[in-house]
């Protein structure tokens, strides 16, 4: 979605820049043009236009915004949990990961598992064990997914303390 | 001249005819044989022609498009299944008749040799009176609901089909080829007519050339049967009754003022439509090879309605030419789109095209402005 | 009555032509506030065209507009839609009710002018999403009804109202319009009982006192005279009289309405074969005494006929038509003259006795009437008279084919196919003899002009070789040339074949010029039968429902 | 006399159904709590769809067989949220938001078509449903994943475009029904139903003598109640008044300046949009979307239910809707089992209910047309009676 929007914005912006007007000015001009069109076609007075069409426009924009917001908060993400070696980080002996306090996933070295979450961000809690089964470390982080669909979390990097543990989905 | 032709033929027809022509032209390029396609089109034309013909009397009598065709089809199905159920009895009775009345040619040998045509004829003979009775009631019903015929016809068709679903299960059919093997009762969903009257019309006098170069099959017998039916309808529409029927459809008030019993004419038209529907489905089955029961006849009215409209009929005017042109175009498209478009696009769009074309055609006819003065 | 110099409405030389057919010419009059004007005239005198012009009906603008000027308060106006007329304060109550049966009185009075509660949503969508303020609506409706001086509950459903109430609701609707200053009432009393009509007249007088000008159109001349200040008489599209009501008697009005120079009446008519009997012969005596039959035997004898034809109800009609006679039936529209032939032919439910040459006719069966060699030309040419979507030969021969078995090949009752060759030949014969303008017998009837369609209808009747020919409105909606041709054809047919012809027409002059005798129908009954040569005003008086009793009352008063 | 006749004629259909149910329920052998549970589920599932039929009836356009257009719009909305993976209540609302403009466009189209076919709206809208079904199938089967971006491979056919026949709606399954988890239990064993499917349920009430527990789709019922309030409010608006006027007499409405055609289009648009929401609610309960069949029967079943509830082609109330849902679905639940217990064949009950659905529509249409023709006759007769003063 966002990509598509960016694409459209990318189509329009160069023209606006070429004419030397800002997005805000462009919006106002568009408003007047729409009114003129309605005036010619249906004789809508400017006042009526403001009171009705403008309000309708606002409502439509509001609904569109609501749509985006719903999309944002309602989107389900697949969180891939990965316990493989990445760059210099070695896989962990055993790690139990739970997302938003849900059922924990137990990952051995080279394991990969998947959990689903809803919403733009989630809390990840990783309990890292040593080879004897004792807890070495517990890490809790909030991760922001935003609008992107699926992400992968590299547990070795997470355990290593780096912030770059969010990686693109393997698919 | 051209404009007049276009006006007479109507845009939708021309577009679809050109589309069909395009399909035939494109066929060789995508590896579809024109001769096979043409054979298929002709076969389907023969199969469906009589059912499309069934539209004429009702349209002409002003009862609108016969969406209640399934009622006639049910009569046909009853005839078909009963002819199989009683096949041996009928044949034995016929040869018995020969002995009894000393008709030398009506003997066992004749009966055995003409087993299949006799079975087919018996199916039609059984179906027609049933259709007539059903049609009579149906006609009386439609007379009470003038103005709403089409919608009511649709649902009369639907409810009669679903009623027969129950009946097919309960009717005491015994014939082993027709009832479910495990239960010993209740008719199967599809019944093969092989060994009874499979292709009796299609294969008689058929032109079948299957060489390496040509694959041509023309079901002459079936086409002749259709032609005979069409001529019969054509003649009927020219009789005194037929003329009165047309007048009833054209302007019921005029007909009444001219001393015609409008309701009676409409009933006769509905009965004819129903009978033709019954005969039509039997012709269809002998070519198709199977009797489709239960929900089989459910949507059978729509292609027939679409065909006649495609042929240029309107909601209150239809002729034999409309039937021939419309059935050919419609069946042509049904045959050609799967083969040609599929080979081109690698997908089966025929179902979707059928839906859009047939219903679009009906919609076009329904929304056309009715001529003033009615 | 007038206030100041500028009249409320001024018509200045209004005229109108429909396709070269002049229906209105040079109409000028003023209407002042609070004045009640009676507008009277025969059917076809141009009243409805005048109303259509005043209301800016699309019929007028689509046929080339009108001549002359209309002024309201001294300013020129030219309406192109009824809404503009409404906006200028002109209200109209039509002859047919324009009410919604399932709605209450208040809902009908305020139809599409409902009182609304304000709503924030109305900006987003439109005012139509605001809810109705029913209390205010009922109040307003009550106020409007009270203005009329009647007592009808605003909560009453229109479907449960007596007809008279409906009329009041219609008027209340116009009154409720705040700016209504001029009200046109088209035959408002036609559906009312006498007592109701009195209430209405009182209400209208009250209304006029409040300053609303009223134009009252009616055929009940006594009412017009009682109610109106001024009476305008329209005839043949001209304004004949514009005089105060008290200067005219109903008899004068009636004669003004129908009165014409007697020279226009073609008095040269062939002789009726026998004298009309002085006393109507009862059917029994005809049957009982066969000796008499040579002397007098009516071709058609109608006794106590009633016909249930919508809008043209016949209540109790008895008359006799002699063999070889041309008999006319006249009267105002809606009084049942069309119901008589339609009922005799069995097209509408009917009762009573109809005897054809002494033998009783089965009613309610068109087939029976046709079988007795009666032919009928319907007034509803396009609806009943013709198969518009079929060729001419079908139209001409169909009835004969169905009822007399002609134009058929084959064995009767078993198998008969139509003989297209014979049909075409017959059609061609009539196309030539009646000079029907067409491309040939194969042309569709719907493609012909009105006059030619009428000729086709006549041909259809002639093909039947009828003994009695019933014709309704033979000249309605056809141009003058065709009119005289049609009438001449009828006369000629009558002369040559001795066929009895019964013509029903709204145009009295036409009847007087063609017929031997003319019956005038009023409110479903025969008001009187006069020889065609009687003075026009006698017909007019019969037509206007002025019975002898009324006249006497007026004279004595 | 006439009043009694009308009373019987108006309520004959529900009465017959009550009688059929009265016989079939004992035959089926279902327990009361099972039946109530099933009925509640079906009321939640279907009422909204049926309610969407009311407004065109009010505007005199008959039964809106074109409601399947709205159902298709709703399905397209659902397909999109499935593709984007939006779940839960936001997913449902988003599906409605996407479906709305599609439904509006389809509704406007439908309205224009119906305005061209005045007097035969029903058969036209019926055929229109088939026609748009063709367009819908083309869109979903060929354009989705090709022109219209659909990326989720779980949705697409293996060939890379076109949507699969069955789409799982796990993400929004039952979200509305279980938004406010509520149960009714008997006094016995109240505790064990406190948590159902891991969700904590709120016990609404305890009814003695009730066996087992009944889960109530409370939120759905609230939405339906809100919708009923909407309809009641709508009837009171000017627009509703105009529609009633048009429904009774188009010519009178027209001469009084009501924009008849426009109002008729609005009626159809509202119906289509509501049918879109109704289909979304229906499918969130079902949990799977049969891409090419789910909408097929929607129109027919909704219309049959409404008619069984005692509505006619020209008159329908909210009470008809609920009476209809209950009676129709009661028969739906019990008929197969009753048929099996009675004749030993479940198939017969199955066919019987199909027959009843179609038969009831046919009978209602016949009765409507018949009555209308008779009323015309009566109106003519009354005209005669009133003319003059005899």
Query: For every residue of C313-363, which 3-state class applies, written as one string?
Result: CEEEEEEEECCCCEEEEEECCCCCCCHHHHHHCCCCCEEEEEEECCEECCC
Final residue belonging to a domain, choices D282, D308, D334? D308
DSSP output for A21-32: --HHHHHHHHHH
Is D315 domain-assigned? no
Based on the domain organization, do A57 and A94 belong to the same domain? no
Name the one residue in this structure whose structure tokens are 């060929």.
D142
**Which residues span the domain enclosing D14?**
1-30+320-384
Based on the domain organization, do A120 and A162 belong to the same domain? yes
The kind and range of the H/E element at B57 are: helix B55-60
Identify from B63, B138, B166, B171 which residue to disrupt to test chain D contact, counting D C-beta atoms within 10 A and taking the largest count: B166
Final residue belonging to a domain, choices A16, A45, A73? A73
Is D314 domain-assigned? no
Q: What percent of chain A has pLDDT over 70?
A: 91
**pLDDT (0 to 100) of residue C266:** 45
How do strand A112-118 and strand A105-107 relate by DSSP bridges? unpaired
Q: Do the beta carbons of residue A166 and residue A153 sit within 8 Å?
A: yes
- Average pLDDT of chain B, as a whole number: 84
Based on the domain organization, do A61 and A82 belong to the same domain? no
Tokens of C401: 């084919």
Question: Could D171 and A73 be called an inter-chain contact, meaning their C-beta atoms sit closer than 8 Å?
Answer: no
Q: Do the beta carbons of residue D339 and residue D349 sit within 8 Å?
A: yes
C340-363: average pLDDT: 88
Q: How many domains does chain A have?
A: 2
Is C266 domain-assigned? no
pTM (2 d.p.): 0.83
CB atoms within 10 A of CB D40: 20
Chain C residues with CB under 8 Å of a chain A CB are 123-124, 126
- Which three-class secondary structure state does DSSP give residue B180? coil
**pLDDT (0 to 100) of residue A113:** 84
Exposure b/e, B143-177, CB count within 10 A at least 16 = b: bebbebbbbbbbbbbbbbbbbbbbbbbebebeeee
- The pLDDT confidence band at residue C121, using thresholds 50, 70 and 90, is low
**pLDDT (0 to 100) of residue C120:** 64
Based on the domain organization, do A94 and A119 belong to the same domain? yes
Based on the domain organization, do A91 and A164 belong to the same domain? yes
- Which three-class secondary structure state does DSSP give residue D367? helix
Q: Where are the alpha helices (DSSP H) in chain D?
A: 2-28, 32-51, 54-58, 67-84, 88-116, 121-138, 218-236, 238-248, 250-255, 260-286, 298-308, 318-343, 346-386
Least confident of A51-55, A83-87, B288-292, C322-326: A51-55
For residue A57, give how far its alpha carbon lies from the nearest alpha carbon of chain C (Å).
9
Based on the domain organization, do C309 and C441 belong to the same domain? yes
Q: Is 90 exceeded by the pLDDT of residue C539? A: no
Interhelix angle B34-53/B11-26, rounded to 10 degrees, is: 150
Q: Is 70 exceeded by the pLDDT of residue C287? A: no
- CA dist B174 to B76, B126, B171, B187, Å? 19, 18, 9, 9
Q: Is 60 exceeded by the pLDDT of residue D196? A: no
ipTM: 0.80
Based on the domain organization, do A14 and A56 belong to the same domain? yes
How many Å apart are CA D363 and CA B156, to the nearest integer? 9
Based on the domain organization, do D233 and D137 belong to the same domain? yes
DSSP output for D232-300: HHHHHBHHHHHHHHHHH-HHHHHHTT--HHHHHHHHHHHHHHHHHHHHHHHHHHH-EEETTTTTTTHHH
- CA dist B23 to B214, B337, C226, Å? 19, 7, 81
Based on the domain organization, do C165 and C188 belong to the same domain? no
Q: Which chains touch A (3 or more CB pairs under 8 A)?
A: C, D
C274-285: average pLDDT: 43
C306-331: average pLDDT: 87
Identify from C91, C103, C131 which residue to disrupt to test chain D contact, counting D C-beta atoms within 10 A and taking the largest count: C131
Tokens of D137: 């199938």
Instruction: For chain B, report the end-to-end CA distance as a whole number of angstroms.
Output: 30
Tokens of B184: 């010993």
Residue whose C-alpha is closest to residue D382's, from C552, C209, B273, C308: C308
Name the one residue in this structure whose structure tokens are 């023709």.
D373
Q: CB-CB: which of D241, D384, D386 is closest to C132?
A: D241
Based on the domain organization, do A27 and A55 belong to the same domain? yes
Q: Is 80 exceeded by the pLDDT of residue D83? A: yes
Based on the domain organization, do D146 and D245 belong to the same domain? yes
Question: Could C366 and B257 be called an inter-chain contact, meaning their C-beta atoms sit closer than 8 Å?
Answer: yes
How many Å apart are CA B189 and CA B172, to the nearest integer? 15
D154 contacts chain A (CB < 8 A): no
C385 contacts chain B (CB < 8 A): yes
Q: Do the beta carbons of residue B168 and residue B185 sit within 8 Å?
A: no
Final residue belonging to a domain, choices C195, C227, C259? C259
Q: Which residue of D has its CA nearest to C193?
A: D389
Interhelix angle D318-343/D346-386, rounded to 10 degrees, is: 140
Q: Is 90 exceeded by the pLDDT of residue B91? A: no
Q: Do the beta carbons of residue C119 and residue C130 sit within 8 Å?
A: yes
- The pLDDT confidence band at residue A2, using thresholds 50, 70 and 90, is low
Residues of D in contact with C193 (CB under 8 A): 389
Based on the domain organization, do C381 and C326 belong to the same domain? yes
Instruction: Map out the domains of chain B as residue ranges.
Output: 47-300
Q: What is the pLDDT of residues B312-341, one digit of tens each?
A: 888 888 888 889 988 988 888 888 877 777
CB atoms within 10 A of CB D209: 8
Q: What is the pLDDT of residues B34-73, one digit of tens each?
A: 888 888 888 889 989 999 999 999 988 888 888 888 999 9
Residue whose C-alpha is closest to residue B312's, from B12, B82, B43: B12
Based on the domain organization, do C124 and C53 belong to the same domain? no
Residues of D in contact with C82 (CB under 8 A): 255
Based on the domain organization, do C109 and C239 belong to the same domain? no
How many Å apart are CA D134 and CA B332, to the nearest integer? 19
**pLDDT (0 to 100) of residue D208:** 66
Based on the domain organization, do C293 and C396 belong to the same domain? yes
Is C445 domain-assigned? yes
In CATH, what number is assigned to the domain containing residue A109?
Answer: 2.60.40
- Which three-class secondary structure state does DSSP give residue A40? helix
Is D96 domain-assigned? yes
Q: What is the pLDDT of residues D1-57, one digit of tens each?
A: 566 776 776 677 788 888 888 888 888 778 888 888 888 888 988 999 999 999 999
Q: Which residue of A has its CA nearest to C123?
A: A52
Based on the domain organization, do C189 and C160 belong to the same domain? no
D284-308: average pLDDT: 86
**pLDDT (0 to 100) of residue D321:** 92
In CATH, what number is assigned to the domain containing residue C435?
Answer: 3.40.50.300
Is C151 domain-assigned? yes
Residues of C in contact with B316 (CB under 8 A): 389
Based on the domain organization, do A158 and A106 belong to the same domain? yes
- Average pLDDT of chain A, as a whole number: 79
The kind and range of the H/E element at C520 are: strand C517-522
Based on the domain organization, do A85 and A60 belong to the same domain? no
Based on the domain organization, do D242 and D349 belong to the same domain? no
Contacts of C309 (CB under 8 A, 6+ apart): C336, C338, C339, C342, C343, C347, C348
How many Å apart are CA D370 and CA D152, to the nearest integer? 53
Q: How many domains does chain C have?
A: 3
B contact residues 337-356, partner D, Cβ 8 Å cutoff: 347, 349, 351-356
Cα three-residue angle B53-B56-B59, rounded to 5 degrees: 145
Q: Do the beta carbons of residue A166 and residue A143 sit within 8 Å?
A: yes
How many Å apart are CA B344 and CA B26, to the nearest integer? 9
Q: Which residue of C has its CA nearest to A48?
A: C123
Residue whose C-alpha is closest to residue C312's, from C277, C284, C350: C350
The kind and range of the H/E element at C514 are: helix C508-514
- Average pLDDT of chain C, as a whole number: 80
Based on the domain organization, do A93 and A28 belong to the same domain? no
- CA dist D252 to C129, C180, D197, D244, D381, Å? 21, 20, 58, 12, 21
D98 contacts chain A (CB < 8 A): yes
Q: CB-CB: which of C128, C194, C315 is closest to D238?
A: C128
Q: What is the pLDDT of residues C42-58, one digit of tens each?
A: 776 778 788 888 888 77
Is C268 domain-assigned? no
Q: CB-CB: which of C388, C402, C410 is closest to B371?
A: C388
Q: CB-CB: which of D127, D352, D357 is closest to B166?
A: D352
Q: Do the beta carbons of residue C468 and residue C502 sit within 8 Å?
A: yes
**Which residues span the domain enclosing A124?**
76-168
**Which residues span the domain enclosing C55?**
7-89+179-259
Based on the domain organization, do A94 and A159 belong to the same domain? yes
Q: Is 60 exceeded by the pLDDT of residue B373? A: no
Q: Do the beta carbons of residue A72 and residue A1 sit within 8 Å?
A: no
Q: Do the beta carbons of residue C345 and residue C366 sit within 8 Å?
A: yes
Phi and psi, residue C235, nearest 5°: -145, 130
Based on the domain organization, do C84 and C108 belong to the same domain? no
The kind and range of the H/E element at A157 are: helix A155-160
Based on the domain organization, do C245 and C187 belong to the same domain? yes
List the beta bridge partners of residue B254.
Answer: none
Based on the domain organization, do D193 and D144 belong to the same domain? yes
- Which three-class secondary structure state does DSSP give residue A165? coil
Based on the domain organization, do D97 and D193 belong to the same domain? yes
Phi and psi, residue C420, nearest 5°: -65, -35
- The pLDDT confidence band at residue D224, using thresholds 50, 70 and 90, is very high
Based on the domain organization, do A62 and A126 belong to the same domain? no
- The pLDDT confidence band at residue C549, using thresholds 50, 70 and 90, is very low
- The pLDDT confidence band at residue B370, using thresholds 50, 70 and 90, is low
Q: Which residue of C has its CA nearest to B371?
A: C389
Q: Is 60 exceeded by the pLDDT of residue C310? A: yes
**pLDDT (0 to 100) of residue A9:** 66
Q: Which chains touch C (3 or more CB pairs under 8 A)?
A: A, B, D
- CA dist D93 to C282, D81, D284, D336, Å? 85, 10, 11, 36
A45-73: average pLDDT: 81
A14-35: average pLDDT: 78
The kind and range of the H/E element at C240 are: strand C238-244
């Amino acid at each position: 979605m966002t990509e598509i929007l960016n694409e459209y914005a990318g189509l329009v912006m160069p023209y606006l820049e070429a004419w030397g007007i800002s997005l805000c000015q462009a919006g106002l001009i568009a408003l007047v043009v729409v009114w003129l069109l309605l005036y010619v076609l249906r004789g809508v007075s400017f006042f009526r236009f403001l009171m009705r069409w403008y309000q309708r426009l606002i409502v439509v924009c509001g609904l569109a915004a609501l749509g985006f917001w719903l999309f944002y908060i309602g989107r389900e993400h697949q969180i891939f949990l990965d316990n493989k070696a990445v760059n210099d980080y070695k896989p962990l002996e055993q790690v139990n990961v739970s997302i938003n306090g849900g059922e924990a996933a137990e990952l051995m070295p080279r394991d990969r598992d998947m959990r689903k979450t809803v919403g733009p961000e989630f809390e990840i809690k990783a309990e890292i064990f040593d080879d004897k089964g004792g807890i070495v470390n517990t890490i809790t982080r909030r991760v922001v997914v935003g609008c992107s669909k699926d992400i992968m979390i590299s547990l070795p990097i997470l355990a290593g303390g780096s912030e770059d543990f969010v990686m693109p989905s393997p698919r | 001249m051209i404009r007049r032709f276009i006006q007479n033929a109507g845009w939708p027809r021309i577009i679809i005819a050109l589309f069909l022509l395009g399909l035939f032209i494109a066929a060789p390029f995508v590896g579809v044989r024109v001769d096979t396609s043409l054979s298929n089109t002709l076969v389907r034309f023969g199969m469906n022609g009589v059912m499309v013909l069934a539209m004429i009397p009702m349209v002409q009598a002003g009862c609108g498009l016969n969406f209640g065709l399934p009622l006639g089809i049910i009569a046909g199905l009853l005839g078909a299944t009963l002819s199989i159920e009683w096949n041996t009895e009928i044949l034995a009775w016929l040869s018995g008749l020969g002995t009894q009345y000393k008709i030398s040619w009506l003997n066992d040998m004749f009966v055995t040799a003409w087993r299949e045509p006799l079975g087919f004829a018996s199916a039609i003979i059984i179906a027609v009176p049933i259709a007539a009775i059903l049609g009579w009631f149906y006609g009386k019903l439609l007379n009470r609901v003038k103005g709403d015929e089409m919608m009511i016809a649709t649902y009369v068709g639907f409810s009669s089909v679903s009623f027969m679903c129950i009946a097919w299960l309960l009717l005491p059919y015994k014939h082993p080829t027709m009832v479910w093997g495990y239960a010993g009762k209740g008719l199967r969903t599809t019944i093969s007519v092989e060994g009874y009257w499979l292709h009796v019309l299609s294969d008689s006098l058929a032109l079948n050339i299957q060489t390496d170069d040509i694959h041509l099959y023309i079901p002459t017998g079936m086409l002749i049967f259709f032609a005979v039916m069409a001529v019969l309808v054509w003649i009927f529409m020219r009789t005194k009754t037929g003329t009165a029927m047309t007048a009833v459809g054209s302007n019921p008030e005029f007909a009444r003022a001219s001393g015609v019993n409008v309701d009676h004419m409409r009933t006769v038209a509905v009965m004819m439509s129903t009978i033709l529907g019954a005969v039509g489905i039997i012709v269809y089955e002998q070519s198709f090879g199977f009797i489709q029961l239960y929900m089989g006849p459910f949507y059978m009215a729509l292609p027939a309605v679409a065909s006649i409209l495609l042929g240029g009929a309107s909601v209150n005017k239809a002729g034999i030419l409309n039937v021939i042109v419309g059935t050919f175009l419609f069946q042509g498209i049904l045959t050609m789109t799967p083969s040609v478009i599929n080979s081109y696009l690698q997908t089966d769009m025929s179902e979707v095209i059928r839906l859009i074309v047939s219903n679009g055609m009906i919609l076009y006819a329904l929304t056309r402005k009715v001529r003033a003065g009615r | 009555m007038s206030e100041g110099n500028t009249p409320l409405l001024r018509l200045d030389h209004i005229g109108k032509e429909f396709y070269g057919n002049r229906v209105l010419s040079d109409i000028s009059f003023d209407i002042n506030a609070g004045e009640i004007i009676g507008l009277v005239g025969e059917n076809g005198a141009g009243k409805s065209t005048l109303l259509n012009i005043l209301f800016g009906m699309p019929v007028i603008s689509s046929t080339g507009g009108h001549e002359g000027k209309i002024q309201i308060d001294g300013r020129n106006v030219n309406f192109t839609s009824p809404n503009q007329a409404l906006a200028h304060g002109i209200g109209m109550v039509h002859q047919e009710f324009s009410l919604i049966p399932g709605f209450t009185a208040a809902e009908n009075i305020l139809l599409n002018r409902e009182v609304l509660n304000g709503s924030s949503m109305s900006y987003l969508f439109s005012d139509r999403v605001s809810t109705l303020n029913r209390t205010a609506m009922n109040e307003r409706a009550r106020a409007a009804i009270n203005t009329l001086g009647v007592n009808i509950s605003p909560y009453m459903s229109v479907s449960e109202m007596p007809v008279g109430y409906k009329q009041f609701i219609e008027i209340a609707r116009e009154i409720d319009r705040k700016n209504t200053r001029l009200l046109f009432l088209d035959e408002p009393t036609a559906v009312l009982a006498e007592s109701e009509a009195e209430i209405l007249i009182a209400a209208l007088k009250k209304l006029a006192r409040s300053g609303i000008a009223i134009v009252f159109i009616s055929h009940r001349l006594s009412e017009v005279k009682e109610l109106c200040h001024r009476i305008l008489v329209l005839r043949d599209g001209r304004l004949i009289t514009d005089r105060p009501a008290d200067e005219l008697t109903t008899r004068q009005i009636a004669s003004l309405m129908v009165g014409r120079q007697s020279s226009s009446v073609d008095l040269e008519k062939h002789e009726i074969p026998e004298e009309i009997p002085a006393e109507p012969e009862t059917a029994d005596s005809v049957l009982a005494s066969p000796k008499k039959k040579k002397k007098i035997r009516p071709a058609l004898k109608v006794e106590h006929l009633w016909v249930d034809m919508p809008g043209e109800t016949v209540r109790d009609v008895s008359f006799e038509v002699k063999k070889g006679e041309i008999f006319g039936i006249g009267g105002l529209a809606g009084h049942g003259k069309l119901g008589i032939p339609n009922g005799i032919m069995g097209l509408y439910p009917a009762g009573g006795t109809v005897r054809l040459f002494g033998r009783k006719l089965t009613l309610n069966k068109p087939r029976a009437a046709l079988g007795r060699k009666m032919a009928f030309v319907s007034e509803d040419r396009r609806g009943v008279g013709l198969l518009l979507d079929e060729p001419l030969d079908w139209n001409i021969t169909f009835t004969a084919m169905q009822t007399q078995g002609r134009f058929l090949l084959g064995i009767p009752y078993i198998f008969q196919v139509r003989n297209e060759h014979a049909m075409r030949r017959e059609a061609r014969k009539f196309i030539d003899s009646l000079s029907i303008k067409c491309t040939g017998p194969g042309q569709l009837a719907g493609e012909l002009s009105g006059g030619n369609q009428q000729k086709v209808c006549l041909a259809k009747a002639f093909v039947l070789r009828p003994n009695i020919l019933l014709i309704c409105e033979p000249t309605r909606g056809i141009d003058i040339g065709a009119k005289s041709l049609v009438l001449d054809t009828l006369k000629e047919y009558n002369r040559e074949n001795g066929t009895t012809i019964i013509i029903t027409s709204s145009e009295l002059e036409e009847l007087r010029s063609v017929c031997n005798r003319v019956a005038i129908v009023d409110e479903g009954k025969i008001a009187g039968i006069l020889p065609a040569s009687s003075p026009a005003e006698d017909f007019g008086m019969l037509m206007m429902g002025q019975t002898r009793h009324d006249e006497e009352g007026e004279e004595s008063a | 006399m006439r009043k009694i006749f009308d009373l019987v004629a108006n309520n004959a259909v529900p009465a017959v159904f009550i009688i059929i149910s009265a016989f079939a329920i004992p035959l089926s052998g279902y327990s009361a709590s099972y039946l109530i549970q099933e009925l509640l589920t079906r009321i939640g599932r279907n009422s909204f769809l049926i309610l969407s039929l009311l407004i065109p009836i009010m505007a005199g356009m008959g039964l809106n067989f074109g409601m399947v257009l709205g159902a298709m719009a709703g399905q397209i909305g659902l397909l999109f949220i499935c593709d984007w993976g939006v779940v839960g209540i936001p997913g449902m609302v988003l599906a409605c938001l996407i479906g709305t403009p599609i439904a509006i466009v389809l509704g406007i189209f439908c309205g224009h078509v119906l305005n061209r076919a005045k007097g035969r709206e029903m058969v036209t809208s019926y055929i229109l449903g088939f026609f748009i079904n063709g367009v819908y199938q083309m869109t979903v089967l060929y354009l989705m994943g090709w022109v219209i971006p659909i990326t989720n491979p779980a949705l697409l056919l293996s060939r890379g475009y076109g949507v699969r026949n069955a789409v799982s709606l796990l993400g929004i399954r039952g979200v509305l029904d279980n938004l406010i988890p509520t149960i009714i239990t008997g006094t016995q064993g109240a505790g064990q139903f406190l948590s159902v499917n891991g969700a904590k349920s709120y016990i609404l009430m305890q009814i003695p003598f009730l066996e087992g527990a009944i889960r109530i789709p409370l939120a759905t019922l609230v939405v339906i109640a809100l919708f009923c309030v909407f309809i009641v409010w709508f009837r009171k608006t000017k627009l509703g008044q105009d529609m009633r006027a048009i429904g009774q007499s188009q010519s009178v409405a027209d001469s009084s300046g009501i924009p008849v055609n426009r109002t008729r289009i609005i009626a159809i648009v509202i119906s289509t949009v509501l049918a879109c929401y109704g289909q979304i609610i229906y499918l969130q309960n079902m949990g799977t979307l049969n891409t090419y069949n789910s909408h097929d029967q929607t129109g027919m079943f909704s219309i049959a239910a409404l008619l069984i509830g005692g509505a006619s082609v020209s008159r329908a109330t909210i009470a008809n809707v609920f009476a209809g849902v209950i009676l129709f679905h009661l028969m739906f639940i019990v008929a197969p089992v009753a048929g099996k217990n009675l004749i030993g064949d479940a198939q017969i009950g199955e066919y019987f209910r199909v027959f009843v659905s179609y038969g009831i529509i046919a009978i209602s249409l016949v009765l409507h047309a018949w009555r209308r023709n008779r009323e015309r006759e009566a109106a003519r007769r009354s005209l005669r009676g009133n003319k003059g003063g005899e």
